Each structure stands twice: as structure tokens, then as C-alpha cells.
């Protein structure tokens, strides 16, 4: 099965406590689609300018990412973002944001996108997320991400998007804002009460928690002694999660749990390098080996 | 097998965002020994005044806790502590500390304590921890806790205690201070380099991580939508961990992992009530059921 992802494509300048890079390919749709294509075919819904570098275009094409939903604005410039991470990676400052061709105001889905069964609505203006939802023909699964900005400026539309989605992936700060709860479990229960089939809260270096109707599931973050660049970790997590489910075409509890581990595996490779390019070099064998490592982190022999 | 625990016995006044209590039995040795005795016999090394309430004394006796190492100071007053938790339980302020008969300066271990195979050195002045270590005859396992105060005021002696212990149980802030690392994995690796067989870092509502020579093991915190009182959670965690290992008399990787889950189970019951008294009412059936729940939080079906 196939998935589509809505999100940004951008060119990033990134500074971390130990190094910096300029002009690397980034953006939420880029990370998510690269991650998804480790598992199954993926199409992008996004927007770029005609300045978009051939080399970056080839990277997406080499992963067979469907670019039918990618708008190219003639004479326009691609979105650019610059950020600087704090000393211990527990936060970052935006240095500049050149929106350029953004926002994508009028997503137009090609015919072959409309009946895509697996959909990831990356973090963007909920009016755009709704325009995508309106063009879909009965998807099996809609996964949605959002952020503080939209929760604060347009809570009604954020609620509408959530009510039309199956799974919400969100970080702790956003979960707190969206639920008005402080207790981390109460926060998740409150979000579940919106009618979702699963709520996944990303907890950074503490991993992630997934609440489904019947169960809690916890996955740690991969214990890296050195993080190079956290940019795109959340997007590649969501992309791998969705891409894995599309591959399995199975939304059982067992499948959702495995998808969460795969999301964590891909996110762990993402933060080991700058930009998305190095992520594309990860092999199926590496993914498989790290997946087994993740299982070993919580293995318990039988008997109490 | 049997364990002994070094720590405080005190009377607590506690305020939380939702309720408050005064005059409840508390202290690190109290929580740890009550927790340990769910699994195996335990003796206390501590100090109280002759004002210690009969009812509190009976509570310890009813759990068959060995009080041979408990010094009672005639005419002295028992340690008292008052604390107030912040709105979201992410911190607390000490309202008062009446040391009274504390510190326990000269721990004298009765003959039957000296060859105890399992030892928990609760957080206290490292000079006292060393005096206890000096009286022991070749224990199987020494588990040690410490805190910021001693790491800052007497790092040399803290290092000596650690070098004579097998397992360090510590919270994140203390691990950061003791290791001088910020990355949570590098922090743990740095502590392991002190020659320990295992390092356990308590992460509050994120659970705990255990590093052994070969492996990482992660256990989440039990997802409670309401916490009543976090006092004693860390001490009961360490007590249950040590008591379980004493019961099994098995220090294999498999046994250590189960011990960590049992520590988490008991800590989760601790935070559901004020004081230690309610913890004594937890049944073996409740412990067993919650242990199975913990396993369910990370269960994954075979196959990727």
C-alpha cells in the first residue's frame, strides 16, 4: 500500500553545539517521505520554488517519491529556515524563516493521490490540512501532527482536523496545550476522549508513549551517547510510522506497536547526522538490527 | 535471603496541590524496608527518639522488620520533615527540617546484620555509609543512593562509597552532577566507568533506565492519571529492587530486570497514597497483577 504526506520542503541552515551546516535539504515532508519510503511508496504534497536544486530533486526521485502533488512556483524561492540548538539539545532558537513560496494555500491532489489509503498530515495550517482531507476518498488511516501556533490561533479548526483523523502524533508541550492537563497520563486520556483511535506523545530523549483504546505502549529513545542534529526526528518518526503501517496494511494493536518501534529506529538514525541526505544511506539491515536492539531494551524472561 | 537498609525514619507533614497530611510515618529507611518486606526479610539501620509513636513502631514490627540496628535516643525527638509539592509534582520545597536525633553518626550493626548478603545504603552522609560498609562481611550486593548535597560537599567520599558498591541508584539531576555529562546516555556510561555492575537512573514520570555491562533496560512509570503523594517513591523503588534480589538470590541480567519492574510496581503504589501506611495494605495479588501490566506496556509480537 501507499502513503502520502503533507508538509514542507525547505533548505536548512543548522547550528548545533558542536558543528554547523548550511543549505541542507530539510522540511517536514522531506524527512517524512524519505522515512516512509524505507517501507512503502510515498507521495508528497508540498510546494517549492523553481530555484530548487537539481541535486535535491534527484534525491527525492531516487527514492521513487511521487512528486505529483508537488507544486513548483516559477520564479519563486524555496522555503528556507535557520536554527540554532541549545547546549544540551533541549531546545532551539529560530535564527531566520524565509517563507518564500510558503504557505501552500491551495493543495491540489492528483487523481492517483485521492484514494491513497494512508495519509500523514504534517504540521501545517489546519485550513490546508482540511483542504487535503476534503479531497480524499475514504482513507484507511489519517495520522495528524500539529503545533502550538495552530492550537493557539485556530483551536476550532485544529479540533476539526483531529475529529477527522485516526491517530494524533504530538510532542509533550503541544499535548499539554491541547489538553489543558499537566499529569502526563491525564493529558493523553484527555486527547483520546476526542474520539481518536490512538494518541502518540513524543517525549524527546525519553522516547514515546502510545495510548490506544485498550492499552498503553512505551518505547524508549535509542540510547545515543552523541546526538548530531535533532532536526527532522519527529517528522521521520511519523513518516516511518505511517510508511510501516502502509506496508503492512494492518491497523491491529500489534502492528501499531511495531510501527512505533520502526518510527523510533528511523528517528534514531535521523539524529545521528545533519540533514536528510545521510538518512537515505541507512540500509534495511541496519533498520532490522536496530529494531531488534529496541526489543532487547524491554525484554523480560517469563515468571515474576 | 535477607537485606538491610540504611536510612532515615521520620515523621512527615506533606502538602500537595490537592491535599495535605501531618504527622505521617516516613523516612527513607521506612519506605525502603516496607517495600523490601514484600519480598524478603529486612533489617533497618536508623535512629529515632523515645517520642516515636507506638502505632508507628507496631507498623514496622507487623512487617517483621528487624529493628536490631535501630538506635533509640532516650529523651530525644524523632526526625521531622515538612514539604510542599509544586502544582504539577515536578518539584517540591522543604518547609522545615527538624533534624532532632539525626544525623546517625555512629551506626552499630548487630552481629546478625554483619553477614547480611543484600545491602541498601540509602541516601545519607557518605561517612556513615562507609561506617556501615566497614562492618559488613563480604555482602553479595551493595546498592547505593546519594544526593546533590554529598556530591557537592564530599565528592571524594561519595566516590569511595561508589567504588565499594555494586549498583548505583540515582535520579537524573544527581547523575548529571556526578558525571558532568548532559547527554542522558553519556551520563550513564560515565557513571558505569566508575566500575559499577549497574547504574539505574530514576526519571520520575518517565520511569527508569538501567545500564549493565552488556545492556540497556528501560521501564516506564506506571501511567497514573492522578498522583497523590510522590514522597518515598524513590526509596520504595530501591527497597523493592533490593528486597526482590534478596528473595531470588540471583544477580543475573534477567533477575536485575525483574527487580527493576518490581521496584516500579511498588513505587507506583507508593505515589497513590499519602505516607507509608497505605503501602503496607498492598497485596501480593495486586503486585503480581501490576507486574503483568508493566510487561504489557512493552510487549511486541514476533516478526518485524
pLDDT tens by residue, A198-250:
999 999 999 999 999 989 999 999 999 999 999 999 999 999 999 999 999 99
Cell of A214: 485498550
Q: Tell whether A109 is covered by a domain.
A: yes
Q: Tell whether A186 is covered by a domain.
A: no
Which chain B residues are closer than 8 Å to A257 by Cβ?
Answer: 299-301
Q: What confidence tier does A275 reach under pLDDT thresholds 50, 70, 90?
A: confident
The percent of residues in chain A predicted with pLDDT above 70, rounded, is 100
Exposed / middle / buried, residue B160 (Cβ in 10 Å: 0-12, 13-18, 19+): middle
Exposed / middle / buried, residue B213 (Cβ in 10 Å: 0-12, 13-18, 19+): exposed
Dihedral (C-alpha) B4, B7, B10, B14: value to the nearest 10 degrees?
-110
pLDDT at residue B275 greater than cutoff 90: no
Q: Tell whether A194 is covered by a domain.
A: no
Contact B289, B244 (CB under 8 A): no
Å between A207 CA and nearest CA of chain B:
9
Quick: pLDDT tens for A119-144: 999 989 999 999 999 999 999 999 99
Contact A301 B215 (CB under 8 A): no
pLDDT value, residue A286: 98
d(CA B183, CA B190): 10
pLDDT value, residue A242: 98
Interface probe for A, chosen from B186, B206, B215, B259 (most Cβ of A below 10 Å), is: B206
d(CA B128, CA A298): 36
d(CA A49, CA B120): 64
Quick: pLDDT tens for A3-23: 999 999 999 999 999 899 999
State chain A's mean pLDDT as an integer.
95
Contact A189 B216 (CB under 8 A): no
Contact A221, A244 (CB under 8 A): no
Domain count, chain B: 1
Between A and B, how many residue pairs show a Cβ–Cβ distance under 8 A? 97
Question: The CATH number of the domain where A79 resides is what?
Answer: 3.40.1190.20
For A297, which of B216, B288, B291 is closest by C-beta distance? B216
The percent of residues in chain B predicted with pLDDT above 90, rounded, is 92
pLDDT value, residue B26: 95
Å between A61 CA and nearest CA of chain B:
27
Convert B14-35 into a string of H (helix), E (strand) and C (coil): EECCCCEEEEEEECHHHHHHHH
pLDDT at residue A180 greater than cutoff 90: no
Contact A225 B296 (CB under 8 A): no
Which chain A residues are closer than 8 Å to B266 by Cβ?
Answer: none
Is B289 part of the contact surface with chain A (CB cutoff 8 Å)? no
For A84, B6, B53, B106, B134, the CA distances from B267, given in Å and listed in that order, are: 39, 18, 25, 30, 30
Quick: pLDDT tens for B108-166: 999 999 999 999 999 899 999 999 999 999 999 999 999 888 999 999 999 999 999 99
Contact A298 B219 (CB under 8 A): yes
pLDDT at residue A253 greater than cutoff 80: yes
Considering all CA atoms of chain A, what is the largest pairwise distance in Å, rounded to the nearest integer?
A: 66
Residue B233 CB contacts under 8 Å (≥ 6 apart), including other chains:
B267, B270, B271
Q: What confidence tier does A63 reach under pLDDT thresholds 50, 70, 90?
A: very high
Cell of A151: 492550537
- Helix axis angle for B28-36 and B233-248, nearest 10°, is 40
Q: Tell whether B304 is covered by a domain.
A: no
User: For the ranges B26-30, B125-129, B178-182, which has the lowest average pLDDT?
Assistant: B178-182
pLDDT value, residue B78: 97
Q: What confidence tier does B172 reach under pLDDT thresholds 50, 70, 90?
A: very high
Is A209 part of the contact surface with chain B (CB cutoff 8 Å)? yes
pLDDT at residue B88 greater than cutoff 90: no
Q: Tell whether A66 is covered by a domain.
A: yes
d(CA A35, CA A233): 10
Is B41 part of the contact surface with chain A (CB cutoff 8 Å)? no
For A94, A253, B17, the CA distances from A218, given in Å and listed in that order, are: 31, 13, 28
pLDDT value, residue A87: 84
Which chain A residue's Cα is nearest to B284? A304
pLDDT value, residue A90: 74
Dihedral (C-alpha) A29, A35, A39, A43: value to the nearest 10 degrees?
10
Q: What confidence tier does B265 reach under pLDDT thresholds 50, 70, 90?
A: very high
Task: Look at strands A79-85 and A10-15 and give their pairing.
Answer: parallel
Contact B236, B168 (CB under 8 A): no
For A13, A20, A229, the CA distances from A85, given in Å and listed in that order, are: 11, 10, 8
Q: Tell whether B303 is covered by a domain.
A: no
Is B88 part of the contact surface with chain A (CB cutoff 8 Å)? yes
Which chain A residues are closer than 8 Å to B185 by Cβ?
Answer: 223-225
Phi, psi (5° rounding) for residue A181? -110, 155
Exposure b/e, B252-290, CB count within 10 A at least 16 = b = ebebbbbbbbbbbbbbbbbbbbbbbeebbebeeeebeeb
Contact B210, B217 (CB under 8 A): yes
Domain limits for position B20: 3-296
Contact B254 A296 (CB under 8 A): no
pLDDT value, residue B91: 84
Contact A194, A180 (CB under 8 A): no
pTM score? 0.96
Q: Tell whether B301 is covered by a domain.
A: no
Contact A197, A212 (CB under 8 A): yes
Averaged over A168-186, what is the pLDDT? 94
pLDDT value, residue A91: 84
Contact B218 A203 (CB under 8 A): no
Contact B182 A207 (CB under 8 A): no
Å between B160 CA and nearest CA of chain A:
26
d(CA A16, CA A283): 26
d(CA B36, CA B5): 9
Q: Tell whether A237 is covered by a domain.
A: yes
Averaged over B13-35, what is the pLDDT? 95
Amino acid at each position: 500500500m501507499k502513503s502520502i504526506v503533507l508538509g514542507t520542503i525547505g533548505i536548512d541552515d543548522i547550528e548545533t553545539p558542536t558543528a554547523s551546516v548550511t543549505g541542507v535539504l530539510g522540511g517536514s515532508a522531506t524527512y517524512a517521505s524519505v522515512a516512509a519510503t524505507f517501507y512503502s511508496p510515498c507521495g508528497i504534497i508540498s510546494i517549492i520554488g523553481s530555484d530548487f536544486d537539481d541535486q535535491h530533486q534527484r534525491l527525492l526521485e531516487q527514492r521513487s517519491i511521487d512528486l505529483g502533488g508537488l507544486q513548483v512556483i516559477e520564479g519563486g524561492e524555496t522555503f528556507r529556515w535557520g536554527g540554532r540548538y541549545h547546549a544540551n539539545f533541549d531546545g532551539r532558537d529560530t535564527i531566520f524563516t524565509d517563507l518564500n513560496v510558503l504557505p501552500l494555500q491551495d493543495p491540489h491532489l492528483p487523481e492517483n493521490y485521492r484514494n491513497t489509503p494512508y495519509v500523514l498530515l504534517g504540521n501545517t495550517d489546519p485550513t490546508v490540512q482540511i483542504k487535503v482531507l476534503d479531497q480524499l476518498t475514504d482513507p484507511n488511516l489519517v495520522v495528524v501532527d500539529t503545533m502550538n501556533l495552530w492550537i493557539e490561533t485556530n483551536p476550532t479548526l485544529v479540533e476539526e482536523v483531529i475529529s477527522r483523523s485516526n491517530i494524533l502524533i504530538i510532542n509533550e508541550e503541544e499535548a499539554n496545550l491541547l489538553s489543558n492537563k499537566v499529569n502526563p497520563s491525564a493529558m493523553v486520556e484527555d486527547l483520546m476522549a476526542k474520539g481518536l483511535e490512538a494518541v502518540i506523545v513524543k517525549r524527546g530523549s525519553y522516547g514515546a508513549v502510545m495510548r490506544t483504546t485498550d492499552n498503553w505502549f512505551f518505547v524508549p529513545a535509542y540510547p545515543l551517547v552523541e546526538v548530531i542534529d535533532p532536526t527532522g526526528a519527529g517528522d521521520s518518526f511519523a513518516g516511518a510510522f505511517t510508511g510501516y503501517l502502509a506496508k503492512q496494511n494492518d491497523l491491529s494493536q500489534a502492528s501499531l506497536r511495531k510501527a512505533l518501534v520502526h518510527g523510533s529506529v528511523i528517528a534514531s538514525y535521523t539524529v545521528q547526522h545533519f540533514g536528510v541526505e545521510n538518512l537515505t544511506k541507512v540500509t534495511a539491515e541496519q533498520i532490522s538490527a536496530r529494531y531488534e536492539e529496541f526489543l532487547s531494551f524491554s525484554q523480560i524472561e517469563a515468571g515474576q
